[in-house]
Every structure is written in structure tokens, then in C-alpha cells.
Amino acid sequence: MEAQQILPRFCPKSSLAPSVTIVKQSFSLMCPPLPSSSSYASVQSGAFRAISIARKEVCSSSWRRVCCSSSSGAEPKEGHEVRAQVTVRRKKLAVFVSGGGSNFKSIHEASKRGSLHGDVLVLVTNKSECGGAEYARNNGIPVILFPKAKDESNGLSPSDVVDTLRKFEVDFILLAGYLKLIPAELIRAYEKSILNIHPSLLPAFGGMGYYGMKVHKAVIASGARFSGPTIHFVDEHYDTGRILAQRVVPVLANDTAEELAARVLNEEHQLYVEVVEAVCEERVVWRKDGVPLIQTKENPNEFR
């Protein structure tokens, strides 16, 4: 099924994939000469490969020049730090949910208040009446049903959903409580561009069957003293992709699963927004051994 045939079903009144005129635009870097003693060893040695922001064709309304400058406007002196302020294109996001979508709401609210350099263009769900889908419809975000269910006539196949996300020009996919396994077609189409959040410190308490309250009950039953959310890139298996970020919370002696879940969820809402901010600002780099790291905003040679 062609994407052009799919989209009108979700948004019959208007085009949901905004049309942007793409123009040729020069992309210049204006920096005073760096002193010979300046060294960026981790970059020169090839230890990390940063995501490139240089492109021949860019949206003229979304990009501006990259400028390096010292506070005085004069050429930097020996030992003085030179910082580059970079504005990158706003990223287009798709969020996948199966339930209430509280992490989806946190990400969308961060985008609306301007702290997130990206926009949620489409919501994908396997439960058309779930809380996340209702929130999306109330906020003018189109909802797509995936995967196709036996009792639903308008669900999409894996190839259909790939075509539809490409029509929206989606840059990153964010799984936020989506309980279905992501098919290989989607993973190949969005390599290193799909993130998931899991409510335990992976690789512990992950895999098929570990979701929601089941995770917290297992953590408490094990006697673990700490838990917390994990954000990882998605591969073709449950919860086995490369870990990008984690946050630790204590497991208290008399915790119930509900109490631990609330403590972890509070951290989830903060951590996921922070990670998506980094992704949208292109601050994720990959170590030689394939481990992803997040650069700090202040210094690209420091990692959080």
C-alpha cells in the first residue's frame, strides 16, 4: 500500500506531513585560526564518531551558520577555550505507545515549551483506544494503528508503517511503553534511530514478559537494593540493544511494587526528555566498541 493512500485515512482534512521547500544553501564555518597547541585528542584519534550535521541540501528556515568566537571578538590567545554554538535542524519524531503514554506526554510537553529541539509528528499504537492515543488525538497528532490486528480493519503492515513514517520524514522513533516487538523491516529502515525506555536497570529484569508491574515485582522479589529506568537503542530482540542512559533509585526495605513503580516512573519522565534533547541536538556519539555516549552541552569532550 502506498503511503499516499495511507495518510488520508488518519488525517482527511489536511496534509499531515508538512511540505518544506528544500533549497541549495551554502554552509559556512567561520572561525578564527585555532592555536597550534589546541588539541582535541579524542576526535583526532578517531576514538569517537560524531553524528554529522553537514549537508548539501538543508531547510533554509531551520539552519544557520556555525560560528566560533571568543568573548572579546579578537583571535583567541594561547590556552583560551573556543566554543562553537551550533543550531541544527529540528528533528521529526514518532512515538510508539501501548498504554497511558505518560512518557509520551512528557516528551510532547517538552517540545511545546521549547526545551526539546524536535516535534512529535505521529503516534503509533497497537491499541487505538489507549490513553496515549486519546492524548494524541486531543492534541492534533495523527494516530496510526500498528501492527494490524484481526479485529481492526485499518491497521498497517510493517512495510506500510515504514512507508508512512518516511512520508512524515521521521528522524527518530521513541518507544514509550510499546509492548510489541519491533519488526526487522523497521529496524533496518531506522538503524540507530529507535529508542526504548525500560523500567529496570538493564540487562537485569529485561526480555520477553518483563514489562510494567511485572518488572517491579521481580526486582523486589530478587532482593535487589537498586532499580531505575534504562534507555537503550532497539535491536531485533526485547531489551538487548545498546544502553544509552540509566538512572538509579533505591529499593526500600518495605517497598510495594506500586511504590517502586512510582519512584522509577518519576525518573523516567525526566531521563527520557533529557535523552531526547541530546538526540535532537545531535550529541550522541559512538565509541569504537559500539557503545553510544551522550556529550554534555558544555563540552563535547565530556560525557554524561
Among 198, 216, 232, 269, the active-site one is 198
Q: In b/e form, how buried is each residue of 37-47, taking b as 16+ CB within 10 angstroms?
A: eeeeeeeeeee
Residues 6+ apart with CB under 8 A from 37: 78, 79
Q: Which of 129, 66, 68, 71 has the alpha carbon at shortest distance from 97?
A: 129
Q: Which residue has the cell 556519539?
A: 285
**Apex 242 CA angle, 100 and 289, nearest 5:** 165
Q: Cα-flanking dihedrals φ and ψ of residue 42, to 5°?
A: -65, -30
| Helical ranges in the chain per DSSP H | 3-10, 41-44, 102-113, 131-138, 158-167, 184-189, 213-222, 257-280
Which sign, positive or negative, has the C-alpha torsion 210, 212, 213, 219?
positive
Evaluate whether 207 touches 125 at the Cβ level (below 8 Å): no
Residues 41, 296: Cα–Cα separation, whole Å? 17
| Burial (CB count <10 Å: 0-12, 13-18, 19+), residue 206 | buried
Q: Which residue has the cell 533509585?
A: 249
Residue 198 is a catalytic residue: yes
Residues 228, 232: Cα–Cα separation, whole Å? 13
Q: Which of 294, 16, 2 has the alpha carbon at shortest distance from 141?
A: 16
CA atoms within 13 A on the CB side of 118: 26
Residues identified as active-site:
198
